[in-house]
């Protein structure tokens, strides 16, 4: 009995002890979990408080954004812009004259398919959507690779793979998926991703970067035909996040150096203008493909980088519309074949790939690159045009998806070692707002910005100081290219020296006295020059109009059988440049296309010579309209009264309205004539209208004549 009592007592005590231990363990676990939770929350709050971003007050004012608590504002006196030789013009996003011509979309997303895409790509693998599997049952798919054929102007499909199942590795970056479900439903769509390539994963080992290279990834994302003002107007969430949460720097004095997308991108990617590069224009003797250009991505590739380039709207491809394109793929991941196929598809939803937007698909392709190569250096440049090429009104569609993309990339740490550049090539060129004074300036002032990793900002405050000061100074596409060159010599013991006299790395301090002349910007494109309005009835302006028409017809002389002879309809506006001694150093160009400028020797500029030159050299700018076709042009030229001649060059000419298909007869053979030529075969339908109009203009009669609109109502083809 006593033994049993002892056993019961022992069991009771052990049971009670076990219960107490369990309670103690549970309590301790709860305390520890609560401790870690509160520590985590407190750390996040502490981290948010400690993450102070240095922000230019002007960026917030321009975009009408309120400052946040984690921001240190840089005020106007920090930048000391009073002595700048070329201050950028002060524009506003709410200018009523501009808003008369804007009609942005009211919804945040285009209308895509409601049913979720059956197929998506995840880190180089083919995936089936769980929603589709749940709704339709088992799914089997066929996979056709989309491949580049012999050159930039053809594609082909690879061998059909069937069946393919969930989680299969991709065998190409782009493919068409045709799927059927057990319930009889069918799905067909094209998709993009990044295929696994063992050789590319080893490149940074086989081709190590130079020891002085900083080693950062480079990610550039751009929009076509969007000014700095319009970027802030139509992408407010993206702009606010980029400034307030990422601490980006906006180059407010960034000025284009020529007309169109090639003139904007070639200096960034090659350091040279199209005129300085080897001949690559279609229809010109000796022209070759653009493979021979000194592309900056080649240099990155030679230093172990994985390279990526994509742009949509291939019908106006930057390097294919006027130029002969690439013979070989220029980068490791090249999206032209995909977009050639995409743009050949007939669809009632042109902004979509099934249930997702084409814009989101483009962003996903960048994300896929960073997922596939987490430890390899990367150079990516992706350029979107569909929302903004013909009109900026669809641009707000991009705001939500772009800001979420930036948040995702930042959350996953991809920006911790990446130079991020958000940019546009130029402002709107062929729209009604271009006829306004601010619209003219906006064309010349695109949105260009840079965000360096946080560790860079903390480790190199003097370079960030230079970058921020430069954001208020005159900068150009040449400077972006020079900045890329600087990355390769970043850790050199010697101070970086620019490779040309016209460019600076953005980490160097750009001189206050820098002028458009020194930056190699033609006065036609320079946004910091002062122009006086003058009467269109001045004799000098009438003479300018006559010589302008003579120049246009002479320029088209090689195609006079295809292009109609142009006549001056009327001059809409005239300006004269205020005297600027720096401009007087420019003499003329030594060729018809204005490729090679000549300047005066400074040693000859004694006071007598300066006074004489001031009396001789004047610069004028006119906006005029021609018939047939009612083309609107803006032209800048230098006038010499001794010879009564205007020095007119094509590169100082801007087309201000869309030409659509009015130059289709010559567009492929001689694409440089597109913006000027009006095809003679269109005259049959317009001759009876325009003949009367020409006679009226010649006789200086004031008549009200109904003109048949012959301009194309489809998208304009311009680059």
- For the segment 207-230, what is each residue's pLDDT rounded down to a tens digit? 888 889 999 999 999 999 999 999
Do residues 469 and 54 touch, judged by C-beta distance below 8 A? no
Q: How far apart are CA 513 and CA 181, in angstroms?
A: 68
pLDDT of residue 132: 96
Are residue 351 and residue 235 in the same domain, yes or no? yes
Q: How far is CA 302 from CA 308, 373, 490, in A?
A: 14, 17, 17
Residue 567 falls within a domain, yes or no?
Answer: yes
Q: What is the DSSP letter of 88?
A: P
Confidence of residue 592 (pLDDT cuts 50, 70, 90): very low
Q: What is the pLDDT of residue 602?
A: 44
Q: Are residues 478 and 561 in the same domain?
A: no
Residue 77 has pLDDT above 70, yes or no: yes
Q: What is the CATH number of the domain that holds 385?
A: 3.40.720.10
> Which tens digit of pLDDT belongs to each residue from 438-493?
999 999 999 999 999 999 999 999 999 999 999 999 999 999 999 999 999 999 99
The answer as to whether 40 is a domain residue is: no
Domain count, the chain: 2
- On whether both 574 and 628 belong to a single domain, the answer is yes
Range of the domain at 230: 60-66+76-109+196-488
Question: Is 405 within 8 Å of 363 (Cβ atoms)?
Answer: yes
Kindly state whether residue 509 falls inside one of the protein's structural domains.
Answer: no
Pairing of strands 333-334, 306-311: parallel
SS3 readout for 228-263: HHHHHHHCHHHHHHHHHCCCCEECCCECCCCCCHHH
Residue 502 placed within a domain: no
Q: 113: which DSSP letter?
A: -
pLDDT digits (tens, 9 = 90+) for 234-263: 999 999 999 999 999 999 999 999 999 999
pTM equals 0.83
245 and 392 part of one domain: yes
* Same domain for 567 and 439: no
296 and 237 together in one domain:
yes
Same domain? For 538 and 483 the reply is no
Question: Of the candidates 488, 522, 548, which is a domain's last residue?
Answer: 488
Task: Kindly state whether residues 542 and 473 are assigned to the same domain.
Answer: no
Structural domain contains residue 166: no
Q: Are residues 551 and 454 part of one domain?
A: no
What rounded mean pLDDT belongs to the chain?
A: 87
- Picking from 488, 515, 540, the residue at the C-terminal end of a domain is 488
Cα–Cα distances (Å) from 126 to 119, 164, 166, 359, 417, in that order, read 7, 8, 6, 20, 29
pLDDT tens digits along 355-397: 999 999 999 999 999 999 999 999 999 999 999 998 999 999 9
State whether 401 and 550 are in the same domain: no
Nearest to 548 by CA among 569, 525, 530: 569
List pLDDT tens digits, range 148-194.
Answer: 999 999 999 999 999 998 999 999 999 999 999 999 999 999 999 99
Assigned domain for 332 exists: yes
Quick one: tokens of 689?
Answer: 């209208």
Residue 252 in tokens: 């407010």
Judge whether 191 lies within some domain: no
Last residue of a domain, one of 488, 520, 555: 488
Q: How far apart are CA 310 and CA 314, in angstroms?
A: 10
If pLDDT is split at 50, 70 and 90, which confidence band does 430 have?
confident
Distances (CA, A) of 78 to 57, 465, 683: 10, 10, 60
Question: Is residue 183 in a domain?
Answer: no
User: Is the confidence at residue 658, as pLDDT, over 90?
Assistant: no
Same domain as 537, residue 403: no
Is 544 in the same domain as 654?
yes
């Amino acid at each position: 009995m006593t033994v049993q009592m002892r056993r019961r007592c022992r069991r009771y005590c052990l049971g009670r002890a076990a219960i107490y231990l369990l309670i103690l363990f549970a309590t301790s676990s709860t305390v520890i979990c609560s401790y870690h939770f509160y520590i985590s929350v407190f750390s996040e709050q502490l981290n948010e408080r400690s993450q102070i971003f240095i922000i230019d007050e002007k960026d917030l004012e321009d975009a009408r954004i309120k400052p946040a608590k984690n921001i240190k504002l840089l005020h106007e006196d920090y930048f000391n812009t009073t002595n700048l030789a070329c201050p950028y013009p002060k524009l506003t996003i709410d200018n009523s004259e501009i808003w008369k011509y804007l009609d942005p979309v009211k919804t945040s997303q285009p209308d895509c398919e409601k049913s979720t895409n059956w197929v998506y790509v995840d880190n180089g693998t083919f995936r089936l959507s769980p929603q589709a599997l749940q709704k339709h049952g088992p799914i089997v798919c066929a996979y056709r690779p989309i491949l580049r054929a012999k050159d930039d102007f053809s594609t082909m499909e690879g061998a059909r793979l069937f069946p393919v199942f969930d989680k299969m590795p991709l065998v190409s970056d782009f493919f068409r998926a045709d799927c059927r479900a057990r319930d009889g439903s069918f799905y067909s769509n094209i998709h993009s991703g990044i295929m696994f390539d063992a050789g590319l994963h080893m490149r940074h080992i086989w081709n190590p970067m130079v020891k002085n290279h900083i080693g950062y990834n480079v990610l550039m994302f751009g929009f076509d035909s969007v000014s700095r003002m319009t970027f802030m107007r139509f992408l407010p969430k993206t702009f606010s996040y980029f400034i307030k949460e990422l601490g980006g720097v906006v180059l407010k004095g960034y000025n284009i150096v020529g007309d169109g997308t090639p003139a904007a991108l070639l200096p960034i990617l090659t350091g040279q203008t199209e005129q300085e590069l080897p001949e690559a224009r279609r229809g010109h003797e000796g022209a070759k493909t653009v493979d021979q250009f000194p592309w900056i991505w080649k240099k990155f590739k030679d230093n172990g980088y994985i390279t990526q380039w994509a742009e949509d709207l291939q019908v106006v491809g930057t390097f294919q519309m006027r130029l002969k394109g690439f013979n070989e793929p220029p980068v490791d991941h090249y999206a032209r074949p995909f977009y050639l196929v995409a743009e050949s598809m007939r669809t009632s939803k042109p902004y979509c790939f099934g249930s997702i937007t084409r814009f989101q698909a483009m962003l996903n392709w960048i994300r896929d690159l960073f997922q596939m190569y987490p430890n390899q250096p990367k150079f990516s440049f992706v350029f979107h045009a569909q929302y903004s090429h013909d009109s900026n009104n669809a641009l707000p569609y991009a705001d939500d998806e772009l800001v979420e993309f930036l948040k995702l990339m930042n959350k996953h740490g991809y920006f911790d070692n990446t130079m991020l550049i958000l940019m546009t090539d130029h402002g709107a060129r062929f729209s009604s707002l271009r006829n306004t004074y601010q619209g003219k300036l906006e064309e010349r002032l695109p949105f260009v910005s840079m965000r360096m990793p946080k560790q860079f900002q903390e480790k190199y405050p003097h370079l960030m100081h230079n970058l921020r000061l430069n954001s208020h100074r005159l900068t150009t596409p040449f400077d972006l290219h020079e900045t890329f060159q600087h990355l390769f010599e970043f850790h050199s013991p010697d101070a970086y020296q620019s490779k040309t006299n016209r460019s600076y790395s953005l980490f160097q301090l750009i001189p206050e006295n820098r002028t458009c002349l020194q930056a190699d910007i033609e006065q036609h494109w320079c946004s910091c020059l002062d122009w006086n309005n003058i009467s269109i009835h001045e004799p000098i302006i009438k003479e300018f109009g006559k010589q302008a028409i003579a120049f246009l017809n002479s320029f088209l002389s090689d195609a006079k059988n295809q292009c109609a002879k142009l006549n001056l309809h009327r001059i809409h506006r005239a300006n004269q440049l205020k005297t600027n001694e720096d401009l007087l150093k420019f003499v003329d160009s030594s060729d018809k296309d204005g490729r090679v400028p000549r300047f005066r020797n400074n040693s000859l500029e004694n006071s007598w010579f300066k006074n004489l030159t001031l009396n001789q050299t004047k610069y004028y700018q006119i906006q005029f309209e021609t018939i047939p076709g009612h083309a609107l042009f803006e032209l800048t030229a230098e006038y010499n009264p001794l010879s009564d001649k205007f020095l007119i060059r094509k590169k100082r000419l801007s087309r201000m309205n869309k030409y659509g298909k009015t130059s289709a007869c010559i567009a492929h053979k001689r694409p440089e004539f597109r913006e000027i030529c009006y095809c003679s075969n269109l005259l049959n339908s317009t001759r009876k209208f325009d003949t009367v109009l020409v006679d009226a203009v010649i006789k200086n009669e004031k008549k009200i004549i109904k003109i048949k609109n012959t301009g194309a109502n489809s998208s304009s083809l311009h680059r």
